[in-house]
Structure 1
C-alpha cells in the first residue's frame, strides 16, 4: 500500500510502501480516491499527537469506495461510495487505503465526485455544527462570519444564508466570491473602521450570532457586537470574556471541535458526524451548496500544501487525488 507518512512530528512527509491495514470490528476499510486538507491537518503534522505511533499517516478527511467490512457492520457493503472525517488519534487517510469507524461514514450521492466529497467533511461539518447545532440560526437573524473565504467560513456563509439569516461576511480578499455564496454584506477585515462597517451593515443593532473561524483574538474583538443573549461559535479559539462587562449582554459561547466527538463523545455524537455529512453531501448533489475547491493536487503535493496552509497562504479547499 502506497502512503504518505512522517517519521516524527515536524519533519517532511515521504511516500512509503507499507502493509494494508486490516479491518477490525465495527470498522470499514475504504479504497481512498481523494482526501481533503484542513488547517487541523497542518497543525497536527507540525506538532504530532501523543497517541500516534511512528511512522504516522496523516489527513483526516477522505472519500472513496468501501473495500472491506469488519465484524458487526451491517449498514455498508463493498463498493459503496462514502466519505468521512476521521479520528485524529488514529492513522489517517493519505494512503491508498484507510480505516474508519462504520458509524461516521456518509454515502456519496450520485452526481457528487470524490473530489467534491473529500472537500466537505471537516470544514462543512464544522460550519454545520456552528450554524445549526449550536447557534440554531433562524430566518431574520443577523450573523457575522469571520474568515469568510476559508473552508469553514465559505460553508458557514452558505448555511446561514440558507437559513434565512442576514449574513455579514468579514474577509481580507475574495469579496466577490463570498457575495456569490449568499452574504448580504462583505467587509474588508483589514479596514481600520471594520467594526463600524459591521454595525452599519446591521442598521446599528447588535448581532444575533457570530461564527468566528479566525482566532481567539478575533473572537474577543467581535464579542461585544452581540445583542443581549446572542451567541458566538468559536472555531479557532475562545474569546476572553473579560473583554465585556459581567451580567451585560449575557452571550452564549460555543466551542466547536469535531475531533472531540471521538475522544470525549458518545456513540450518538459520532453518529451525528454521519448525519451532518450526509445532509451536506445531499445539498451538494441538489446544487444548493457550493464546494469551494481552490486547488486539486496529487499525493506527492500534500506536504508542500500543508506547509502553505500553516502559513495561512491558502483560501478555499485543497483536495489531493490519490
Structure 2
C-alpha cells in the first residue's frame, strides 16, 4: 500500500516525508482494518515530525485522523461492526499512523459515520473536535456557567469549540487576528477580540462587568496570563501546558485542568479509550443533524499532505485541511 513515512529518526523536516510502498497492517485480536478515504491534518502531525515519539519504529507512517470503510475484522467484536461499515477514529501517536491506503485500529476507539456525513467531514472533526468536545463536555460542569473564552477561535479546536459552546447555551468570547474575524462571527461568537490590536484583559472586563470568565479554553500557550481572567468558581482548561505558579486558586474557588487527548492511548484505561468513540459519535450526530460545521478550508490530494502540513506550520489556515485518497 502507499503510505507517507519518515525513514529514520534524523528526519525532522516536513520535506523529509516520502511516499513509500508499505505492507498492509496485520491485525491482532479486537482490531479493525480500514480502507482509508479521508484524512484530517493537525498541528500535532508536523510537531511529531520535528520531535519523533520515542516508541516509533521505522519506516514510520505519519498521521492520526482517518475515515474510511471496514475491510477486515479480527477477534471478538462487541461493537457489532460489519465489513463495509463507514467509520472514523483518532489514532495512537506512538503506533504506526494513518497516512496510508489502509490503517488499523482497536475496535473500541472506532466510531460509525452516519450515512449523510461525508468521509471528509468525519475526518475533519477528530483530533480538534474531540479536544473541543472533551474540554466542554468532559472537563466542565456547565451548571451555573455563563461565559467562555476560547482562544484562537479560527483554528481547528477553536472553530468546533465555538459551535459546541453556543449549542450549550454559553456566551462566547474568542480571540482571533483581524483577518479571521469573519469566520468567528459566522460560527456564532458573541464577542470577538483582535488579540493583536486590542487589550484582552480590558475587553474581558468590559464584557463581563469585571466578573471575569467562567470557562477558558487555552490551546495557544502562555496560559498563566489567563488565571487573572477567571471569574469566581471559574475553570481554565489547558491543552498545551498547565501553569504551575504561586497563584492562589482556592481564594476564588477556581480550577486549572490539563487536557491531553492523545495520552488516553498510553493510559490503557478502557473506560476512557471507549469514550473516544462515544465522543466521536456525538460529534458525528451533530454533523448529521447539520448542527455542526466541520469548517474545512481545503481538501487536498493524499500526495499533497506535506504541502498541507507546511501551511499548518505557518499558522495561517482557518479550520481544517483534509486529504482524500
| TM-score, length-scaled by structure 2 | 0.94
1:27 aligns with 2:49: no
Alignment partners' CA distance in 2, 1:204 and 1:247: 19
CA distance in 2, matches of 1:4, 1:246: 46
Sort the Cα spacing of 1:160 and 1:138 in 2 relative to 1 into closer, same or farther, 3 A: farther
The normalised TM-score by structure 1 is 0.95
Give the deviation of 1:137 after TM superposition: 2.9
1:224 aligns with 2:228: yes
For the Cα contact (< 8 Å) 1:138–1:165, is it kept in 2?
no
1:174 alignment partner, SS class = helix
The answer for the alignment partner of 1:209 in structure 2 is 215
Offset of residue 192 of structure 1: 4.3
Cα deviations across residues 33-76 of structure 1 (Å, max 9, x unaligned)? 01001111111122111111001001100000001101112421
Would you say the 8 A contact 2:27–2:74 is kept in 1? yes
Q: Is there any run of 5+ residues in structure 2 with no aligned partner, and where?
A: none
2:84 maps to what in 1?
79
Counterparts of 2:169 and 2:292 in 1: how far apart (Å)? 15
Cα displacement string for residues 242-291 of structure 1 (whole angstroms, at most 9, x for unaligned residues): 3x346423421111111111101411100000000000011001010111
Aligned partner of 1:54 in structure 2 is 58
Partner Cα separation in structure 2 for residue 92 and residue 174 of structure 1? 31
From the superposition, tell whether residues 300 and 82 of structure 1 become closer, same or farther in structure 2 (CA, over 3 Å). Answer: same
Matched, 1:288 2:291: yes
| Contact 2:32/2:105 (8 A) holds in 1 | yes
Shift of 1:202: 1.9
Q: Which residue of 2 aligns with 1:4?
A: 4
| Contact kept in structure 2, 1:226 and 1:249, CA below 8 Å | no
Gaps of 5+ in 1: none
**How many residues align structurally?**
319
Other structure's SS at 2:128 match: helix
Aligned-partner Cα distance in 2 for 1:246–1:150: 29
Name the structure 1 match of 2:307: 304
**Residues 139-176 of structure 1: per-residue CA shift (max 9 Å, x gap):** 75111000110010111111111111111111113112
The answer to whether the Cα contact below 8 Å between 2:40 and 2:323 also exists between their aligned partners in 1 is yes
For residues 190 and 103 of structure 2, what CA distance do their matches in structure 1 show?
A: 41
What's the secondary structure of 2:60's corresponding residue?
A: coil
